[in-house]
């Protein structure tokens, strides 16, 4: 019975970690991460009353609808709809009519682009650099509810 349970000796082996394969994998993951967050700049007319954050890259042509947030108004494609003072969206100067008009303008743009098979869900957002986050969040919620999935923030080019 005692011979049945013999202890076996562990064989020593040379264990080598494959660093080359690990580094190759990490480089590939890094490339995919960098590609997924890549940014580009575009040439676009700046909205009235906006002080945009600065960027240092080259310019490309921008396409898509444009949403502007300034301290005094929220605009769609260059036209102001929600008038306010000091980013106060809870008490717009033109009341609920401004929000209704903005929503109707966005709905009309989306419907027109869908009938022409040109709707791609791209939105160019120009916001003043002092825009409070709750204001930005409210406007983005409205845009996303209309099907805009590719929302790009616009900044001013500084050399």
Q: 108 or 39: whose pLDDT is higher?
A: 108
Q: Per residue in 101-153, pLDDT tens? A: 889 999 999 999 999 988 888 888 888 888 888 888 888 999 999 999 888 88
pTM of the full structure: 0.60
Higher pLDDT, residue 26 or 53: 26
- CB crowding 103-114: b at 16 or more within 10 Å, else e: eebbeeebeebe
Distance CA 98, CA 107 (A): 14
Residue with the bigger pLDDT between 69 and 45: it is 69
Bridge partners (DSSP) of residue 123 are: 65, 151
């Amino acid at each position: 019975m005692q011979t049945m349970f013999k202890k076996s000796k562990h064989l020593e082996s040379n264990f080598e970690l494959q660093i080359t394969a690990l580094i190759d994998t990490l480089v590939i993951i890094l490339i995919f991460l960098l590609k997924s967050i890549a940014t580009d700049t575009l040439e676009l007319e700046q909205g009235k009353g906006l002080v945009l954050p600065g960027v240092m890259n080259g310019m490309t042509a921008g396409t898509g609808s444009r949403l502007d947030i300034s301290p005094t108004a929220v605009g769609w494609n260059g036209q102001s709809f929600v008038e306010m003072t000091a980013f106060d969206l809870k008490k717009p100067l033109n009341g609920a009519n401004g929000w209704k008009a903005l929503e109707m303008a966005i709905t009309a743009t989306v419907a027109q682009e869908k009938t022409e098979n040109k709707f791609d869900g791209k939105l160019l957002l120009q916001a003043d650099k002092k825009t409070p986050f709750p204001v930005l969040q409210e406007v983005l919620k409205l845009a996303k509810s209309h099907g805009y999935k590719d929302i790009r923030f616009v900044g001013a080019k500084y050399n």
